[in-house]
Structure formats: structure tokens, C-alpha cells
Structure 1
């Protein structure tokens, strides 16, 4: 996809702060430090557009990135953040749940998992949640440059089995470093927003 126009539009913590322009939205979900910002930066071809951090749990708001004045990529706070208080964790959970269950312009979600490891219990719970609400999902296994090529099939098998991936949701292997999987992710996003 050619990026002509890009802006960080809104940081929101509740429904009253969401954009009101009715553009389609694609949400990015995943554990803290799984590479959501890196995926966004790779997709929009900007090195530091979405801020990456070595500190897990840094994103504490829903960040709406407007692309080509046509749709939003929504960076959702990471789950599984160990250094965040239980109270904050509950608030994040509430904020994420409110967004995922009430947002009518949400056309699909991208769930990021670390391709080097088996998906965590949090990853499984998030995928089950998304399936329960019948949100179209793309699973993206990140950091695949750190996995040997001859192990990629094993990654596919492990992620598919652990998440109990259904036949309609897709899995895509991805690396921000060498951009592999970038065009496939864009294709999935384009299909979702053009069906809007």
C-alpha cells in the first residue's frame, strides 16, 4: 500500500475520546514488547512513527493512527505487563474490552505473538475473546528473523495448535527487520477495510 498521508490522530482511554469520523479501524493486540509499534512502523514505512520502547507496558492508551485519510490502525495497550499494578491492569482490561466490544467501525484485529515461543496463556485468552465476539482476526508471528528458516513450519504448527486457530482466521509470519510478511499483512488489512 502506498502511504500518502499519515498522522497520529488521537490517544484515547474511553469511548468518548474515540474518533467520530466513521472511518474503518483495524486494532493491533499483543503482549507488551511483542512488536506492535515495529509492525506499525514497518507497514507505514516510517522508522519512528509509532514509538517503540524497551520498557513493556509503555503504551497505556488506545492510539489511533490515521492512514491515507481512509482508515485507522489502532495500537492497543499490551497485555501481560508484569510491572503494572493490578489496579492499572484491570483498568487496561476494561478499556480494551470496551473498545473491542462496542466499536462498530472495527473491521478486524491483528493479534501479535512472539514467533520464537509458544503463545502464552494471555495470547490464548485474547484469541478466544476475539473469537467469542466474532471479530475477524489475523495472527502475526513476529521476530521471525530470529527463527531459523527450517523451523518456520514448526512455528506455524505450534501457533496454530496452541491457539486452536479456526479455519477462517489466518496466520502470517513476520519480521520487522527484513520486512518479510509485510505485503501479506497489508493485503489482509486492505481486504477488511474495503469490505467496510
Structure 2
């Protein structure tokens, strides 16, 4: 699969599950805590600077955003979780929207891969591990995209990879070191997404 990256757009901004797309295009979802770099990674993958809005304020994305890539697939930016300063009502709304993507998505069969983003500088949070547990229990194909890997030196990178291989919920999972700043992992992630979409 070689989509034309000159033909990409924000197709749908969904605040309710009923607003999710009705067509059957394959979907690749990006999940992770607030400010882990989902929007930046999507921009990097699509060779764009500002298609996915990047904010310094954690938890800015309060919708499920579907990016149409050459009418070949959707990249799906899920709301970030784990931002403590949001009100309980906002947290409930975000949780309902994200849960709805997995449980009330009329085209859940079109979801081919979930890229679970984890900050390589801090390792997985409890929320990250809970999400990985959910993905494992539901059998949804998933991998780990370790963001901000350009911030690690060689020793820190080795230590991070070793800790991920030792973790109960992370060992054995495909893991790609990523940096939206340098482009590290971009080609590898595209290969993984292409393989997931092209599986018959």
C-alpha cells in the first residue's frame, strides 16, 4: 500500500459515536495519554506540520478525529487520557467517547491496528498498561509506538527497551522507537500499518 500523501484531510471530527464514519475504509487508531505526542506523530506520518492540531495544553483533543489518507485508510486520533486537571465530568465524557470507539463503532471490523503510544522517557503509566490489557483481552491487533525517543541517549534507550521486554503487558509486543522531530520510526511504522491494512 502506497497512499498519496498529497491527498490527505481531516475527514470527520466526532464528538459522539454516531458521528463515526459509515464507510468501510480501514482504520488505524492512535491511543495514548494526554501530551504523549499523538497529533505530532500523525503529522510526521503524513508529512504535514499542522494537519493534526498540536497543543502545549495536555488533553486538548476532546474528539475522535478521522484523517482520510488518499481514500485508502483512516488514521484515527483518539482523545488522550490521564490528564489530572480535567473535571470529573470531562473525564467521563472523554472515557465514554474513547470507549465508544471500541464498543459502539459500527465499523469496528475496519479497525486493523491500534498504535499504543508510550513516552519513552517515562515508560508506561498505569493508564497505558490498562489500555494494553484491554487491547490484549479484546484481541485487537496492536503495537507500541515509543514516542520522543530522540530525547534518550544510547544507555537510556537500552534500559527502556529492556524494561519493556520485562513488563508483563509489554513483553513480546512489536515496539517501534519514534520521534516526530527527527522522523525516527516513521518508515517502520508505515510498514506495520501497511501490513495490517493489506492482510486479507
CA contact (8 A) 1:10 1:64 kept: yes
Return the alpha-carbon distance in structure 2 between the equivalents of residues 161 and 87 of structure 1.
Answer: 36
Stretches of structure 2 lacking an aligned partner (at least 5 in a row): none
Give TM-score scaled by structure 1 length. 0.94
Give TM-score scaled by structure 2 length. 0.92
Asked if 1:111 is matched to 2:116, the reply is yes
Partner of 1:123: 128
Q: Secondary structure at the match of 2:109?
A: coil
For residues 32-63 of structure 1, what are the alpha-carbon distances to aligned partners after superposition, in whole Å with 9 as ceiling and x for unaligned? Answer: 00000110010000111101000001000000
Return the alpha-carbon distance in structure 1 between the equivalents of residues 20 and 84 of structure 2.
Answer: 27
Partner of 1:160: 165
Return the alpha-carbon distance in structure 2 between the equivalents of residues 117 and 166 of structure 1.
Answer: 17
Q: Secondary structure at the match of 1:104?
A: helix
Taking only aligned residues, the RMSD between alpha carbons, in angstroms, comes to 1.4
The partner residue of 2:175 within 171, 174, 187 is 171
Asked if 1:62 is matched to 2:64, the reply is yes
Asked if 1:150 is matched to 2:155, the reply is yes
For residues 49-82 of structure 1, what are the alpha-carbon distances to aligned partners after superposition, in whole Å with 9 as ceiling and x for unaligned? Answer: 1010000010000000000111000000000012
Per-residue deviation, 1:153: 1.8
